[in-house]
Amino acid sequence: MHFWSLPLQSLFSELKATPQGLTTSQVLKRRKQFGPNAFDTISHITLLRIFFLRFQNPLIILLLIAAAISAVVHDIHSAILITIMVFLSISIDAVQDFRASNAAEALKQSVALRPLVLRDQQLVKIPLEDLVPGDIVCLSAGDLVPADGRLLEAKDLFVNQSLLTGESYPVEKSAQDFRVADETITNAPNAVFMGTSILSGTAQYIVCLTGKITALGVITSTLSTQAPPTAFEIGMRQFGLLLMRLILFLILFVILANLFFDRPWLETLLFALALGVGLAPEFLPMVVSITLARGAVRMARKNVIVKRLSSIHDFGSMDILCCDKTGTLTEAKIQLAQHLDLKGEKNDHVFQIAYLNSYFETGLKSPLDEAILAYQHLERENWEKIDEIPFDFERRRVSVLVDNGKKRLLLVKGAPEDILAISTHFEDEPRPLSPKALYAKERRKIQNQFNDLSQQGFRVLGIAWREVPRTHSQAVIHDESGLTFAGFATFFDPPKSSAAEALKKLHENGVKLKIVTGDNELVTQHLCQQLNIPIDGLLMGHDIDSIDDSALSAKIEKVNLFCRMNPTQKCRIITLLKSKGHMVGFIGDGINDAPSLHSANVAVSVDSGVDVAKEAADIILLKQDLNVIYDGIIEGRTTYGNIMKYVMMMTSSNFGNMISMAGAALFLPFLPMLPTQILLNNLLYDLSEIAIPLDNVDKNFLEKPHRWKMSSIRNFMFMMGPISSVFDFLTFAILLYVFKASETLFHTGWFMESLATQILVIFIIRTRLSPLKSRPHPILAISSISLASLGIIIPFTQLGAYFSLTPLPTSFFIILGILCASYLLLAEGGKRVFYRYSINGV
């Protein structure tokens, strides 16, 4: 359906819509007919779906097959116990994951895009997914187009369609009936398409296509548009692969060893599979999800909304933060301070030009425009707008063509140096217009006046104008020449009172600030002096265009001030910083910031930012303040720290168990533990760790950024795993040679020792300090001690009999206490050695 080529009345008739919009009853019917305005029709994953997704784990499938085989060969007891343990483990995992997913989704929806729509003849903001064909949507500069549709009204509308066409140059749109033979998107000047962005102007359009059948939806259905994985996601994937390789090796080793000694094949298969499930990190995704979701909830309480959970790690590990100064280092309460002619005197004519330009501008009004309009109300005196040349970041100016019935003027405001370059005359009282060209001496005088204002900390706009023939009805860039330079508008934006303290905290916690701004260097340097920010080096936009990447890469490490930067130059700086191994964050809230947000490791925007910036961001600030950034970084490090506790515990205990199982398979005449006992042991162990997301994180861990390092995790595993195995083998020897243990007694003794040591070691691994100097969260302490105790009590209950566990003599518990205490002391020593000789640990 090429809706842009149909006559407008025919389109309204086909859509059964009117310019007054839809009613609630019409919307409900269309929602049933067309579905949500989204590419993925499954907007919320159900608990049942999460539960069944757990059966994609090959080890779970194999274990259930083995349980079925047990039932066939009349080992009903084992079949029932294995099935119950598997389903119980999967159920706990699914419920916790579902709760975490819901919490994360609720936070994401709180900052979701909400287009302005005409419903029941009233303008309301609605969720993006609720749009239906026939809706009337209002657009303005900075908005993302929420669905494909036909323009009804358009005023100075310029759209970036590069997402669909690859053409980065803005396209002008108008609301006219239009028909050509080639009915493609590029030949649709009266239509807007989902995902494109409004650069300037305003518009109203009727929605024609939503969701998967939009132009973007069709592309998305054929191409992978998934965001690249974060450093955290890559690290988790590598870690999972490492564990799975070790587990598969152990399973094959155990099967071959037991078959070599001619032990029962079914019992061997069940044992090997149960061992695989017991050692596999099947609870790792759940613990990670819960920890990240809880971290996101805590961050939300501190005005930081996380859109992409895995970005929490990158936020915490960020070591360079790039930002502009307005709103981040300043109050963003910009006020017009002066409107000066070239003599440095207050001039009403300069203000009138600036006011009319800002009043008639239909692009995204900047804080400077708002400050001009708020300064003083002027009557338009019959001035009417004819046309506009929107602002762009190459020209750095905006021009408005106006007429008052007597004359037609092009009114221009923008970066003083750019406007001065295209001016040939200047106003010189009492004569309105100097007849002579603007000579070099006079240019220098104007430039010096601009520099003096900048050094005083003012942001400055150049104001100029040009009279054109009244027959001139369309403004084009070529018209911006031969201007008369009228003077300056100066603005004051005070530094944030909280910025200096926040910058100090960021520096003390390992985050370097780099100011990357389009503003001039004099104003930025003045602000740095006010905030006591040392200037390590300065680079200008024109400087970086003149050097190649290798030379620039060497310079940017030492430079913390980048001025007069356009969006392309900002992206280049961020990309080069990333290539040098830095975790780079970028704060942006404007149209021009979207490319830089896409380039950064951590994209941060603010809730008041434009749609384009918020959509590109991983993290949204509800309050634009560096203290909020600092709080978010600390929460990110806290979340990462708790995830690493589980990873370190699991690697050390699992690797130790692998060594112990492999050794036991070689010399024991029976299996060291029954399959059902392994599953019970694994379930109790995993339950004890569910409280890890609640745990406290040491202050010294939070003081610097941390990166996922597989080499450190592997080294920790090789350090701590063998320590665990030493005490397993001691337990084997004591059970066999001191207690002369039978098979059942041996199983019970190792079940208790294995469970107690791998649970209690959390008190050692959870902190780099002495356990006496770092207190765990009470719930973690209670859950760990309770479940370790439960493992000791179970053999004395009826439940223990079902798992073939038997009561042990009192003397064994004395030995068990000595073994556990000795293991924890040795584990503490191993931990200290590891952190002493590892580089930054993990």
- Is residue 200 located within the same domain as residue 253? no
644 in a structural domain:
yes
- Is residue 592 located within the same domain as residue 522? yes
Confidence at residue 43, expressed as pLDDT on a 0 to 100 scale: 47
User: Contact at 8 Å (CB) between 161 and 185?
Assistant: yes
CA-based torsion, 733, 739, 742, 747: positive or negative: negative
For helices 675-689 and 76-109, angle between their N-to-C axes, nearest 10 degrees: 20
Instruction: Supply the range of the domain harboring residue 537.
Output: 304-331+496-622
**Boundary of a domain, candidates 222, 255, 287:** 222
The domain that contains 568 carries what CATH number? Answer: 3.40.50.1000
- Which residue type is seen at 324? D
- Is residue 339 located within the same domain as residue 474? yes
- Is residue 286 located within the same domain as residue 411? no
701 in a structural domain:
yes
Over residues 334-350, the mean pLDDT reads 92
Over residues 800-823, the mean pLDDT reads 93
Query: What integer best gives the mean pLDDT of the chain?
Result: 84
pLDDT confidence tier of residue 50, bands split at 50, 70 and 90:
confident
43 in a structural domain:
no
Q: Which residues of 456-483 are buried (b: 16+ CB within 10 A; e: fewer)?
A: ebbbbbbbbbbebeeebeebeeebbeeb
The span from the CA of 677 to the CA of 271, in Å, is 10
Over residues 380-404, the mean pLDDT reads 88
User: Between 65 and 57, where is the model more confident?
Assistant: 65
Q: Which residues of 596-611 are buried (b: 16+ CB within 10 A; e: fewer)?
A: bbebbbbbbbbeebbb
- Is residue 164 located within the same domain as residue 74? no
Over residues 539-550, the mean pLDDT reads 89
**Boundary of a domain, candidates 492, 525, 549:** 492
800 in a structural domain:
yes
Confidence at residue 46, expressed as pLDDT on a 0 to 100 scale: 74
- Is residue 655 located within the same domain as residue 724? yes
45 in a structural domain:
no
What's the structural domain count of the chain?
Answer: 4
Query: What is the percent of the chain where pLDDT is above 70?
Result: 87
The domain that contains 405 carries what CATH number? Answer: 3.40.1110.10
Over residues 569-592, the mean pLDDT reads 89
Q: Is 51 helix (H, G, I), strand (E, B) or coil?
A: helix
User: Contact at 8 Å (CB) between 391 and 479?
Assistant: no
Place of tokens 């970036």: 160
pLDDT confidence tier of residue 731, bands split at 50, 70 and 90:
very high
Confidence at residue 659, expressed as pLDDT on a 0 to 100 scale: 83
Over residues 544-571, the mean pLDDT reads 89
Over residues 38-42, the mean pLDDT reads 62
Exposed, middle or buried by CB within 10 Å (0-12, 13-18, 19+), for 66?
buried
437-488: per-residue pLDDT in tens? 556 778 888 999 999 999 998 989 999 999 999 999 888 888 999 999 999 9
774 in a structural domain:
yes
Q: Does 42 score more than 50 pLDDT?
A: no
User: Contact at 8 Å (CB) between 334 and 368?
Assistant: yes
311 in a structural domain:
yes
Bridge partners (DSSP) of residue 512 are 320
The domain that contains 272 carries what CATH number? Answer: 1.20.1110.10
User: Between 63 and 49, where is the model more confident?
Assistant: 49
- Is residue 617 located within the same domain as residue 665? no
Report CA Rg, the chain.
Answer: 34
215-248: per-residue pLDDT in tens? 888 766 554 445 566 677 677 777 777 777 777 7
619-643: per-residue pLDDT in tens? 888 888 888 899 889 988 998 899 8
Helix (H) or strand (E) holding 171: strand 171-173
User: Between 254 and 763, where is the model more confident?
Assistant: 763
Place of tokens 């307005």: 326
End-to-end Cα distance, the chain: 56
Give the ranges where 422-540 is alpha helix by DSSP (H).
440-455, 499-508, 521-530
E-strand ranges in 177-226 read 191-192, 197-209
116 in a structural domain:
no
The span from the CA of 429 to the CA of 296, in Å, is 61
Over residues 718-746, the mean pLDDT reads 93
- Is residue 174 located within the same domain as residue 82? no
**Boundary of a domain, candidates 432, 459, 492:** 492
Confidence at residue 484, expressed as pLDDT on a 0 to 100 scale: 92
Exposed, middle or buried by CB within 10 Å (0-12, 13-18, 19+), for 144?
buried
- Is residue 538 located within the same domain as residue 668? no
- Is residue 24 located within the same domain as residue 96? no
Active-site positions?
Answer: 324
- Is residue 720 located within the same domain as residue 779? yes
Over residues 276-300, the mean pLDDT reads 73
Q: Is 166 helix (H, G, I), strand (E, B) or coil?
A: coil
Confidence at residue 439, expressed as pLDDT on a 0 to 100 scale: 65
Name the least confident of 303-307, 720-724, 818-822. Answer: 303-307
User: Contact at 8 Å (CB) between 605 and 328?
Assistant: no
Confidence at residue 462, expressed as pLDDT on a 0 to 100 scale: 96
Confidence at residue 433, expressed as pLDDT on a 0 to 100 scale: 47
Token pair of 38 as six digits: 């989204």
The span from the CA of 49 to the CA of 553, in Å, is 48
Q: Which residue, among 239, 355, 317, 280, has the nearest Cα to 647 in the 3D structure?
A: 239
pLDDT confidence tier of residue 829, bands split at 50, 70 and 90:
very high
pLDDT confidence tier of residue 407, bands split at 50, 70 and 90:
very high
pLDDT confidence tier of residue 182, bands split at 50, 70 and 90:
low
Confidence at residue 84, expressed as pLDDT on a 0 to 100 scale: 79
User: Between 155 and 583, where is the model more confident?
Assistant: 583
- Is residue 203 located within the same domain as residue 140? yes
